[in-house]
Amino acid sequence: MSAFAGRDGFVGTDAGPAAHFGNPLGEQRLLARGRAVVELGLGVVTVSGPDRLSWLNSITSQLLLGLGTGVSTETLVLDQSGRVEHAARVVDDGSVAWLLTEPADAAPLAAWLDSMRFMLRVEVADRSADFATIGRFGSAVLADDTVVEWVDPWASVTPGGWGYADLEAHPGSDWTLRIAVVTPGTAAEIAASDVPAAGLLAYEALRIAAWRPSLSDVDERTIPHELDWLRSAVHLTKGCYRGQETVAKVHNLGHPPRRVVLLHLDGSDGVLPAPGTPVVLDDKEVGRLSASGLHHELGPIGLAVVKRSLDPTATLTLTADDVVVAATQEVIVPPGAGATANVPRLPRLGAVRRS
């Protein structure tokens, strides 16, 4: 049960946390300004033992060797073909690595990690039932007894990563999300305080506007390049791990077969297409909507993964409740993304320098 269930206006989700408290747009404004908190209901997996970071480094996409205490990063578990299977926000407290993931992925991620332990000195546990995850924007301290805090690195290209979005001012550059892992008792104290609370509808709209990828945007074919996830979750020169060959080949020699776009949706009929809705051009499906929300400034928006060859200027349509909704595209991953070994680029903050 949500710690915030007693708040006035609470409307819950199937997962437990609030969808909203009666005023999603007002909550969203407060959340964006750093004046509200949001219960995220994330899964919590812990990895302890002296080999934890070297082991995680060897089986996931991010460089975790030497990760400093309290330093936040993000990593992916890929299959042999480079497709995304799991995603985790990672922070180490000096003795335990904390992995925060989507609620439905905690048990599968913990089970997969446990199957990969072999003789190494590591212990894996799904601790989702023992902790709550509270998000906010800005730098204010949420609670003195926070167990651990993860700070999202999305605001810039992380060392060893690469950003495909060809913009001087990325909409995620002021994305200051911080996630506190707290005990249920602390969560209850926060909920009983006078701090404003927002629901997941508010958070999701802000995430979409910042082009921030999530495991909820992933399907059975997704490779990191398609979501511009090399920006924060992949280190391109760290060495071998499962799926690394595909990551390197697509980035250096090829192009991702699909690409994520931001869709500006026509809100004239007051209909918001749901994730999973086909994206259509001239009666042909060219992609799928992965996320949608009503933003307090941009209006109805969504993230969609579309064919790489799709004309970025084409007006698309989606159908919701028998209503056809028009959509225009804003390019995130350009059609020519990839093959970077032979494409001159201006260096980005944190990007790998190439001679």
User: Does some domain include residue 163?
Assistant: yes
- What total number of domains does the chain contain? 2
CATH of the domain at 30: 3.30.1360.120
User: Does some domain include residue 228?
Assistant: yes
Residues 22 and 168 in one domain: yes
Last residue within a domain, chosen from 248, 268, 297:
248
The reported pLDDT for the residue numbered 299 is 97
Q: Which of 20-24, 151-155, 322-326, 350-354 has the lowest mean pLDDT?
A: 350-354
Residues 15 and 117 in one domain: yes
**pLDDT at 147 > cutoff 50:** yes
Residues 196 and 272 in one domain: no
User: Does some domain include residue 345?
Assistant: no
Residues 266 and 242 in one domain: no
Q: Which of 64-73, 160-169, 255-264, 308-317 has the lowest mean pLDDT?
A: 160-169
Domain span at residue 35?
Answer: 11-248
Work out the average pLDDT over 173-190: 96
Residues 118 and 32 in one domain: yes
User: Does some domain include residue 349?
Assistant: no
Query: Do the Cβ atoms of 351 and 162 come closer than 8 Å?
Result: yes
The reported pLDDT for the residue numbered 352 is 38
Mean of the per-residue pLDDT values for the chain?
93
The reported pLDDT for the residue numbered 264 is 98
Last residue within a domain, chosen from 248, 272, 290:
248
The reported pLDDT for the residue numbered 340 is 67
Residues 154 and 229 in one domain: yes
Residues 23 and 120 in one domain: yes
User: Does some domain include residue 47?
Assistant: yes
Question: Which is more confidently placed, 248 or 353?
Answer: 248
CATH of the domain at 288: 2.40.30.110
Amino acid at 219: D
Taking only the tens place, the pLDDT of each residue in 290-313 is 999 999 999 999 999 999 999 999
Residues 49 and 116 in one domain: yes
Sign of CA pseudo-dihedral 98, 101, 104, 105: negative
Residues 49 and 120 in one domain: yes
User: Does some domain include residue 351?
Assistant: no
Taking only the tens place, the pLDDT of each residue in 122-139 is 999 999 999 999 999 998
The reported pLDDT for the residue numbered 143 is 80
Residues 88 and 218 in one domain: yes
Residues 280 and 163 in one domain: no
User: Nearest 5°: phi and psi at 14?
Assistant: -60, -30
Taking only the tens place, the pLDDT of each residue in 221-260 is 999 999 999 999 999 999 899 999 999 999 999 999 999 9
Query: Do the Cβ atoms of 259 and 111 come closer than 8 Å?
Result: no
The reported pLDDT for the residue numbered 342 is 45
Residues 221 and 239 in one domain: yes
User: Does some domain include residue 6?
Assistant: no
User: Does some domain include residue 241?
Assistant: yes
Last residue within a domain, chosen from 185, 217, 248:
248
Q: Model confidence at 63, in pLDDT bands (50, 70, 90)? A: very high
